[in-house]
Amino acid sequence: MKFRVYRYNPEKDAKPYMQDYDVPVADTDRMLLDAIVKLKALDDTLSFRRSCREGVCGSDAMNINGKNGLACITNLRELKEPVVLRPLPGLPVIRDLIVDMTQFFKQYHSIKPYVVDDRPLPEKERKQSPTERAELEGLYECILCACCTTSCPSFWWNPDKFVGPAGLLQAYRFIADSRDQVTAERLDNLEDPYRLFRCHTIMNCVDVCPKGLNPSLAISKIKELMVKRTV
Amino acid sequence: MSVVKHSIAKRSFDAVVVGAGGAGMRAAIQLAEAGLKVAVLSKVFPTRSHTVAAQGGIGAALGNMEEDNWHWHMFDTVKGSDYLGDQDAIEFMCRMAPQAVYELEHFGMPFDRNADGTLYQRPFGGHLSQFGQGKPVRRSCAAADRTGHAMLHTLYQRNVRQGTHFFVEWLALDLIRDQHGDVLGVVALEMETGEAMIFQAKATVLATGGAGRIFESSTNAFINTGDGLGMVARAGIPLEDMEFWQFHPTGVAGAGVLITEGVRGEGGYLVNANGERFMERYAPNAKDLASRDVVSRSMDQEIKEGRGCGPHKDHVLLKLEHLGPELINSKLPSIREIAIKFANVDPIKEPIPVVPTCHYMMGGIPANYYGQVVAQKDGNANAPVPGLYAAGECACVSVHGANRLGTNSLVDLLVFGRAAGEHVVETIKREPRAHKELPANAADRALSRLARLEGGSGGEQVAQVASDMRKTIQKHCGVFRTGTLLAEGVSKIREINARAQRTTIADKSKVFNTARIEALELENLAIVAEATVVSAEARKESRGAQAREDFKDRDDTNWLKHTLWYMQGSRLDYKEVNLKPLSVESFKPKARSY
C-alpha cells in the first residue's frame, strides 16, 4: 500500500519534506496504525505517538488524507492511495508526525478542568440523579486527542487566545455538572472577545471528532447561558 | 563500560513518581496535597496511560444495590487468587475500597447513578454474596463502559487543581541505589531533547503498569513494556509471581481489543459452535460470571474439543443481542463501537467473536500494603528497600495472587496509590532529613544503555527481536502449559533476552527518537519474558492463571508460596504466602469451584 508521509527531523532537515513508502499490508492489518507500525519496522527513523490502539488514549491523532483522525480506528481499506499523513495542523512540529501540544493543554488547563465544590463533603458519595448525570453525556468522553481544536481555523489564528473546541467542550462539562458550584466564575472566565467568542460555528470540530462528540453544541449552550445571565 | 563522566543535569525532589496512570496519579495527589515537592514522570501524557482502557468498573462493597460488605469482597478476592494472595493486603484493600471510591466521587468522577442518587453498581465475575455461597452481588462502580477513562481523567484533573509537577514524555531508565541498597531516585530520558537527567528523591514511587506486550495476543497498549520491572530487576531486586498472567476471556478475536466482563455482568453470555451456553457445564452456580481463569480455560477447552466457531473453529461467541438496544447504548456504548470497528459486527444484532487474550500481570515488584518495595535482607523475606515504593499493576502486594478478579485492578490502583503516597508523606514528616549523597556512579547504568544504542551497528533490528519474543511467549506460555513447552520456552527466551540487550537502531538522532525508546523498552520486556517463563517452568502445579497439563491440580503442600525471580543468574527463590489477615480470621485454602 502506498503512503506519502510528512518528514522533518530538526537535527538534519532544513525544512520538512514528503517521503513515499510502499508498505506490504496483510489481511490482518485492519487499521491505519497497523500499517504505520509496519512502516516503522522498515524505517525506524519515522517518529509518531501511539499507545492504546483502540481509540481511547488519544495519542495517534494525525492528519490523514487531509482530515484529522486517530490512526488506530481509521479503517485502512477505506483510505485512498497514496495515503497522505501529516502532523496535526496548527501546532508546532517537533519531529515527523509529532506536534508540540503545549498550547492545546494550556487552553485545556485554563478552563479549570475539575469539579469545584468547597462545601463540606459527605461521608459517602454526593448524590446526583440519573438525569443530572445524563447532562455529562457527550462531554466527559473527550480523550484530548486535539483532532477538533487543530482543525479549527479560529484556533489556527489565535492559539494563545481562543480556548478551542476541546477546551470549551470541557468547560461546559464542568458547568453542566450538578456537583460544581462555580458556574458564574466559569462564565466570567470565558466572557472575552477571544476565549469563547472566536468560535464562528465552522463545525470542523464536529466533523472530525473520532468519538462522535459535538463541541459546537456545547459552545452554543455556554453562549446561551451567557445571554441568560445578562437578561 | 567506564564511568561516563560527562555532565548530566540533576534535579532534587522529596518524591519522584514514575508513571502517571491510576496508581501514580493517586499517589501524586496524596504527595502534592501534603505540600511535598514532587515530580511525576510519564512517558506519555498522563491521560494516555493504560488505565484509560479499563472498562467495567471499580470493585467496592458499598452495598448500594443490595446487602454487601468488605468481608465478602475479601473472601471473593482470596478465593479468586486461588489462595496465593496475601490476606493482610487483601483485607486492607477490601476495607479501604469504599473510601477510595467515595474519594474519587469527591474528586468529580462521573459515576453512573441509581434513581436515589447513589452510585450505580453492576455484577462482575467472581463477586458473590455470603462468602461465595450466595448469588452474584452488584459491587462494581462504573461510568458506563469507560470507567478507566473517566477515572484517569478525574485523577489528572485533581492533580491539575493541586498543581502537581508533571514531566511529560520522560522515560525512566534506571534506579539509583547506593552501597547500602537505599534508592535515591532515578535517571530518566527526556524524549523531546534526547537528554538524560538525574531525579534525586527521598522516595521513589514506581507506578509503571504492566507488561502485557510480551504476548502476541494482548489487550494491552503499546506502552505496557514493564519499565519499572526492568529497572528493579537490573538493580538486584527480585520479581514476584511472574508466572501468573491473566487471560481475559473476551478479547476481540484477531484484534485483541478488550470487551469488558461488564457485558456478562449486564447479562451477556458465551456460546460455542452448537449455540450452547457452555459455562453452565463448567461453573453451574456463577456460570459466565465465574472468575476469569476459569472462564478462559473453559473457552480454550471448547475450542480444543472442536466446538469453536467460525471457519477455523478458533473462537467462541459473546451474545448480547437479547439485552436490547437501550441497555447496550446506555451501559455498553463503547463495546458497541469496538465491536463495529474491530469485529465488523453490531452487537445489537449479532454476537461478538472472542478469544482469551493476555490482559493483566498478577506478579510484579514485591511490595507490602504500605506500598514499600520489599526484598530479602538479613533473614527477613520482606525487608523494605529504603526509599523505594511500587503501586498498581507493576507491584505484587499480593492482592491478586494467582488470578485477579475483575474490578479489583482499579481499586488496587486507588488504594495502594494512596497508601504509598501516604507512607512517603508520613516518613518524610517523621524523619525530616537532607538528601543522601549520590554515588559517583549514579547514572552509569542508564548512560551506558544509551551509549550502547548511540554507537553500535550491524546488530539485530528491534522489531524482529520483539516479534520473536511475543511469538515465543504466546506459544510456550499460554493458557495451557506443559513441562516440555515451558522447558523449550526457557531456552528460547534466554536467547531472545540476550539478543534484546544487543539490538541496533538505524536512527541515531536525539530529538524524539522513538526507535531508541522502543529499543530501551524491549530490554525491559525481554527481562519480564524471561522471568515469566522461568517462573512458570519451575512451578509444578496448576493454580489460578497457571494451568499445567502435566500437573493438573493445585498442590498446597509444595507450592503454596510466592516465586521470586532474580535477574542476576536468572535464579529462583520462594517466600511464604501471608495467610494471616489484619483483623479477621484467616481463609484457609480449600477446593475452588464456581
- Chain B positions in Cβ-Cβ contact with residue A41 (cut-off 8 Å): 461, 463-464
Q: Could you read off the pLDDT of A74-115 as tens digits, one per residue?
A: 999 999 999 999 999 999 999 999 999 999 999 999 999 999
Cβ contact A44–B506 (<8 Å): yes
Query: Is the per-residue pLDDT at B2 higher than 80?
Result: no
Q: Could you read off the pLDDT of B11-57 as tens digits, one per residue?
A: 999 999 999 999 999 999 999 999 999 999 999 999 999 999 999 99
Mean pLDDT over B90-97 rounds to 98
- Taking a C-beta distance cutoff of 8 angstroms, is the pair B278, B294 a contact? no
Identify the residue whose cell numbers are 455461597.
Answer: B133
Mean pLDDT over A144-150 rounds to 98
- Residue A93 near chain B (CB below 8 Å): no
Complex ipTM over 0.85: yes
Query: Is the per-residue pLDDT at B535 higher than 60?
Result: yes
**Residue B127, pLDDT score:** 97
Work out whether strand B9-18 and strand B38-42 pair parallel, antiparallel, or are unpaired.
parallel
Tell me the three cell numbers of residue A115.
469539579
Which amino acid does the sequence have at A138?
G
Cβ contact B53–A144 (<8 Å): no
Least confident of A130-134, B314-318, B455-459: B455-459
- Chain B positions in Cβ-Cβ contact with residue A61 (cut-off 8 Å): none
Q: How far apart are CA B472 and CA B33, in angstroms?
A: 46
Q: How far apart are CA A180 and CA B109, in angstroms?
A: 12
Cα angle B44-B50-B54, degrees, rounded to a multiple of 5: 155
Q: Tell me, what DSSP letter sits at residue A121?
A: P
**How far does B196 lie from chain A, in Å, by closest CA?**
18
Query: Is the per-residue pLDDT at B527 higher than 50?
Result: yes
**Residue B3, pLDDT score:** 44
Whole-prediction pTM value?
0.97
Q: How far apart are CA B552 and CA B15, in angstroms?
A: 46
- Chain A positions in Cβ-Cβ contact with residue B98 (cut-off 8 Å): 124
Query: Is the per-residue pLDDT at B262 higher than 80?
Result: yes
Q: How far apart are CA B413 and CA B399, in angstroms?
A: 11
Q: How far apart are CA B137 and CA B256, in angstroms?
A: 29
Mean pLDDT over B490-513 rounds to 96
Cα angle B3-B7-B10, degrees, rounded to a multiple of 5: 105
**Residue B6, pLDDT score:** 56
- Taking a C-beta distance cutoff of 8 angstroms, is the pair B564, B238 a contact? yes
Mean pLDDT over B489-493 rounds to 98
**How far does A37 lie from chain B, in Å, by closest CA?**
9
pLDDT category at B4 given cuts 50, 70, 90 is very low
Beta bridge partners of B375: B383
Active site residue B292: yes
Q: How far apart are CA A128 and CA A113, in angstroms?
A: 19
DSSP string, A79-100: PPSSEEEEPPTTS-EEETTEE-
Nearest to B500 by CA among B451, B533, B467: B467
Task: Out of A11, A98, A132, name the one closest to residue B510 (CB).
Answer: A11
Which of B138, B139, B146, B292 does the annotation list as catalytic?
A: B292
Q: Could you read off the pLDDT of B418-431 as tens digits, one per residue?
A: 999 999 999 999 98
- Chain A positions in Cβ-Cβ contact with residue B160 (cut-off 8 Å): 109, 113-114
Query: Is the per-residue pLDDT at B457 higher than 90?
Result: no
Mean pLDDT over B270-285 rounds to 97
**How far does A89 lie from chain B, in Å, by closest CA?**
19
Task: Out of B53, B119, B463, name the one closest to residue A56 (CB).
Answer: B53
Query: Is the per-residue pLDDT at B299 higher than 90?
Result: yes
